[in-house]
Amino acid sequence: MGINETILSASGRKSDLVISSIFGKLKANIDFSFVGNEQRTLIVTSALPNEGKTTIAANTAVAMAASGKKTLLMDADMRNPTVHMLFNYVNARGLSDIISQSADWRPFIIKTSIANLYIITAGRKPVNASKFLTSERFKITLEDLAKNFDYVVLDTPPVLLVPDSQIISPLVDGVVLVIRSGSTPGNALTHASETLKRANANIIGAVLNDVKVKNGPYGYGYGYGYGANSKNAKRAVAHKQTKTEISVRKPVKADTPAHKSDSKVREAKLIEKKD
């Protein structure tokens, strides 16, 4: 099946190359947080809906696969699954079925047309998704997947809507928060961060999404920065901040939308799914 234009491809178009470079640098920064780990698991989430977390998760997974690493993208947002739509697949069965049937995860793997990239869709919507995620079966499945893939990227629901991300976060190596520039209220971002920290999550950084840069050739930008309290984040010595990075060390004022005042983020054209 064809891949949605939201996802990076090897088309060679200038816009794709720019986006590929941005997500390649994001992938490298994530790697800096996991020095010494051969297998890496992380969730990509946001404080609120419509911040672009699924698009960021998918393209980050594509960048990881492009590096030659066996990568799994798993849709753990069983309440509102969208990963399958980005890749034009049918969400006939997936994570919820693996858990409910205590099934082996291997038959549920979808091998995409992108080399090294595999997907597990969300599956049928469960009555109680949180109960599924707190099950021993989910924990065992996640541990087994981590042993069989170099990277496991989970797209999870917004933190402030349901407890799912809070439940999963202690089970993975790191958490990346997606923030929509000019949209995400500062108090919501603070609340989401505090909620994850109470769950003992390792917040390794944040992506500032939908940054409008004056006179830029493209429509969207992405930034990445290490969380100030990350347990494993390592900052490069004498490293000059690139245009694709943004510091998130300074707290955002409450009730103030996240914005680009401290950022110099290179833009890239990308039509996003609202997730």
pLDDT of residue 158: 97
Task: Identify the segments of the chain with pLDDT beneath 70.
Answer: 1-18, 213-275
How far apart CA 64 and CA 59 sit, in angstroms, is 9
pLDDT of residue 8: 54
CATH, residue 101: 3.40.50.300
Q: Is 267 part of a structural domain of the chain? A: no
Say whether 118 sits in a helix, a strand or coil.
strand
Q: Is 91 part of a structural domain of the chain? A: yes
Q: Is 24 part of a structural domain of the chain? A: no
| The total number of residues written for the chain in this structure | 275
Q: Is 21 part of a structural domain of the chain? A: no
193, 143, 29, 5 alpha-carbon torsion, rounded to 10°:
-90
Distances (CA, A) of 166 to 50, 87, 170, 252: 19, 27, 8, 21
Q: Based on the structure, what is the number of domains in the chain?
A: 1
- Phi first, then psi, for residue 113 (nearest 5°) are -75, -5
**What residue ranges in 86-180 does DSSP mark as E strands?**
110-111, 117-120, 151-155, 174-180
3-state helix, strand, coil in the chain (%, to 5): 30, 15, 50
Q: Which domain holds residue 194?
A: 39-235
Cβ contacts of 134 within 8 Å, gap of 6 or more = 167
Q: Is 16 part of a structural domain of the chain? A: no
pLDDT of residue 15: 52
Report which residue type is found at 86. Answer: L
How far apart CA 77 and CA 229 sit, in angstroms, is 26
